[in-house]
Amino acid sequence: MPAAPDPTPTIDRVLHHSPHCKVGVFTLPPGHELWHTENRIGLGPLIAIPWTAVEIDRSDARHELMDPNRVVYYRREQAYARRVVSPRGDRCLFIVPSDRLLRDALAASGLVAPGDGYPFATGPAVSEATHMQHSLARALRSGTPPTPVEIDDTVTRIVGLLLAGAAREAGRRPPREGPGARARRDLVARARAAMNTRLDDPNTDAMLPITELADQVDASPYHLSRVFREHTGDSLARHYRMLRLRVAAESVAGSDTSLTEIALRFGFSSHAHFSASWRTEFGTVPSALRRARI
Contact 236, 223 (CB under 8 A): no
- Per-residue burial over 142-151, b = 16 or more CB atoms within 10 Å of its CB, e = otherwise: eeebbeeeeb
Over range 158-162, report the average pLDDT: 97
- Report the phi/psi class of residue 224: left, alpha or beta, with left for phi > 0 and alpha for psi in -120 to 50: alpha
Report the pLDDT value the prediction gives residue 180, as an integer from 0 to 100. Answer: 81
Provide the residue ranges of all domains of the chain, joining segments of one domain with +. 11-171, 181-291
pLDDT score for 80: 94
Q: Which residues pair with 32 in a beta bridge?
A: 6
Q: Report whether pLDDT(3) > 80.
A: no
**Quick one: pLDDT band at residue 59, thresholds 50, 70, 90?**
confident
Mean pLDDT of the chain: 91
Question: Is the Cβ–Cβ distance between 21 and 96 less than 8 Å?
Answer: yes
Q: What is the mean pLDDT of residues 131-146?
A: 91
pLDDT at 291: 86
What confidence tens digit (pLDDT) does each residue in 68-119 have? 999 999 999 999 999 999 999 999 999 999 999 999 999 999 998 887 789 9
List pLDDT tens digits, range 199-224. 999 888 899 999 999 999 999 999 99
Instruction: Give me the CATH code for the 181-291 domain, please.
Output: 1.10.10.60
Distance CA 235, CA 240 (A): 9
Domain 11-171 has CATH 2.60.120.280: yes
* Topology agreement, domain 11-171 and domain 181-291: no
Across residues 135-159, what is the average pLDDT?
94
Given a cut of 50, whether residue 64 has pLDDT beyond it is yes
With a cut of 80, say whether residue 174 has pLDDT above it.
no
- Asked if pLDDT for residue 15 goes beyond 90, the answer is yes
Contact between residue 190 and residue 236 where contact means Cβ atoms under 8 Å apart: no
Note the pLDDT of residue 153: 97
Instruction: Write down the pTM of the prediction.
Output: 0.91
Measured CA to CA, the distance from residue 257 to residue 235 in angstroms comes to 30
pLDDT at 10: 55
Per-residue pLDDT tens digits for 237-276: 999 999 999 999 999 999 999 999 999 999 999 999 999 9
pLDDT exceeds 80 at position 175: no
